[in-house]
Amino acid sequence: MEKLLIRGGRPLRGTVAISGAKNSAVALLPASILAESEVVLDNLPHLSDVAVYCELLEELGASVQWTGDTIRIDPSALRSKPMPNGKVKLLRASYYLMGALLGRFGEATIGLPGGCNFEPRPIDQHIKGFEALGATVRNDHGSVHISAKKLKGAKIYLDVASVGATINIMLAASRAEGATIIENAAKEPEIIDVATLLNAMGVKIKGAGTETIRIEGVESLHGCRHSIIPDRIQAGTYMIAAAATGGDVLIDNIIPKHLEAVTAKLREMGVNVEEFDESIRIVGAPEYSAVDVKALAYPGFATDLQSPMTSLLTQAKGVSLLSDYVYSNRFKHVPELMRMGANIRVEGRTAIIEGGRLNAAKVRAADLRAGASLVVAGLAVEDGVTEVSGVEFIDRGYDNLVDNLRLLGAEVWRDSD
Ligand code: EPU
């Protein structure tokens, strides 16, 4: 098992270019199998989750060629086959194979997804959507079996504005007869990215990015070329890390609008944030004010950034309240930060963080964003080497992290246990 070692006390300085978005990539890859011919995706991030997804598509019979940041997927020979176990269990986003295979072949058998299990993450809204489109859904020994003779467009109101359910329904509805309307749809940028790809493949989708999405299904989808949007969570993590180290970093190749909630919160703390067309510059300050943060669905402050933000708030003067209204108990990073000397108490869905000094320690990442939080904390420590184990989680979502941080002047290296 590998661990990350981080010698703190070095302000990050320089430019970091952000890769394509993980949470788009893991939806666009399964979306591509709805096509009858080759789909080319550019700006693909180099992440373990993406690599596992490619293997899943190959298992289903797709031809996959990944060179540099570009991937070519030819799904013409692909068949639906049951995938109850194996790699589907490694990823949360394997649930998108349900919508994609249902759309293309009228059936799918997929083991219940794995991934970052920081709390139970139900998929009832995905299932409700498939059923509304006319599918029969059966839970069979830990696998979901979905089948439909014919999918028919329907009006679906989501009880929660779920990213996964919105995308999964869009995938299946792309091949349904007639129009599907999703009400209370999630509005995350990754949903617009998936809609852009599906539209380029011949589907007619309107309203992606708003709470009402209309999908007009088509009989067949064709191949196309598409560039994946930048990863707003990686970008936000570097913004936070730059501030936590009192650094000066240009975060490049991003869509600044996707980061407005982070930008606003950092400014409120006293961080200097300059926005450009495709980049944001963060200049740290000697002292930060405590702030209250509420993690919400987009365009609110992203839940995926609340863990790294917790680490930054340990560096603010006074008491900050950080509440997560997307997940009620996503606080696995907190006991680890406390090992590093952080003064944090969790009450319900709120972390109460009193600013103070962090010390180097041996800590363990229990999930992807908890790992990011510990990396930020390790960089912010004034002196000493922090050891972060559980690196395999971090590799799921941060492209080239060690090299990027080194280019920014951090002293970070990998070692094995
Ligand atoms: N929910 C339900 N029922 C459902 C689906 C969701 O109750 O059928 C609840 C969840 O329990 C949660 C809320 O709705 O409380 C939102 O969950 P959502 O479905 O939006 O999350 P997801 O699609 O499973 C994606 C990202 C997560 C990110 C969330 C929220 C992917 C593969 N994952 O998950 O990313 O936290 O949206 O933005 O896109 C990460 O990257 O570290 C990560 C966990």
Domain architecture of the chain: domains with CATH = 2-19+230-416 (3.65.10.10), 22-227 (3.65.10.10)
Nearest residue (CA) to ligand 1, atom 14:
162
Cα 289 to ligand 1 centroid, rounded to whole Å: 30
- Contact residues for 290 (Cβ-Cβ < 8 A; gap 6+): 269, 313, 316, 317, 318, 319, 320, 353, 355
Residue nearest to atom 43 of ligand 1 (CA): 304
**Residue 368 Cα: closest atom of ligand 1:** 42
Which single residue is written with the structure tokens 């019979």? 61
Model pTM? 0.97
The residues pairing with 350 across neighbouring beta strands, listed in sequence order, are 323, 347
Atom 5 of ligand 1: nearest residue by CA position: 123
Query: Measured from the CB, is residue 369 less than 6 Å from ligand 1?
Result: yes
Q: Give the DSSP H/E element, type plus range, for residue 65.
A: strand 63-67
Q: Could you give the CA distance from residue 226 to residue 221 in angstroms, rounded to a whole number?
A: 14
Tens digit of pLDDT at every position of the chain (417 positions): 899 999 999 999 999 999 999 999 999 999 999 999 999 999 999 999 999 999 999 999 999 999 999 999 999 999 989 988 888 888 889 999 999 999 999 999 999 876 666 667 889 999 999 999 999 999 888 899 999 999 999 999 999 999 999 999 999 999 999 999 999 999 999 999 999 999 999 999 999 999 999 999 999 999 999 999 999 999 999 999 999 999 999 999 999 999 999 999 999 999 999 999 999 999 999 999 999 999 999 999 999 999 999 999 999 999 999 999 999 999 999 999 999 999 999 999 999 999 999 999 999 999 999 999 999 999 999 999 999 999 999 999 999 999 999 999 999 999 987
The pick from 117, 121, 144, 305 for probing ligand 1's pocket by mutation, whose C-beta has the most ligand atoms within 8 angstroms, reads 121
Cα(417)–Cα(415) distance, integer angstroms: 7
What is the spatial distance between Cα 22 and Cα 298, in angstroms, rounded to a whole number? 16
Question: Which residue, judged by its Cα, is nearest atom 40 of ligand 1?
Answer: 304
Residues marked as catalytic: 116
Q: How many CB atoms lie within 10 A of CB 241?
A: 29
162 alpha carbon to ligand 1 midpoint, in Å?
6
pLDDT for position 341: 97
The pLDDT of residue 119 is: 67
pLDDT digits (tens, 9 = 90+) for 25-84: 999 999 999 999 999 999 999 999 999 999 999 999 999 999 999 999 999 999 989 988
pLDDT tens figures, 331-368: 999 999 999 999 999 999 999 999 999 999 999 999 99
Q: Which of 124, 168, 326, 398 to mutate to test the pocket of ligand 1 (most atoms within 8 A of CB)?
A: 326
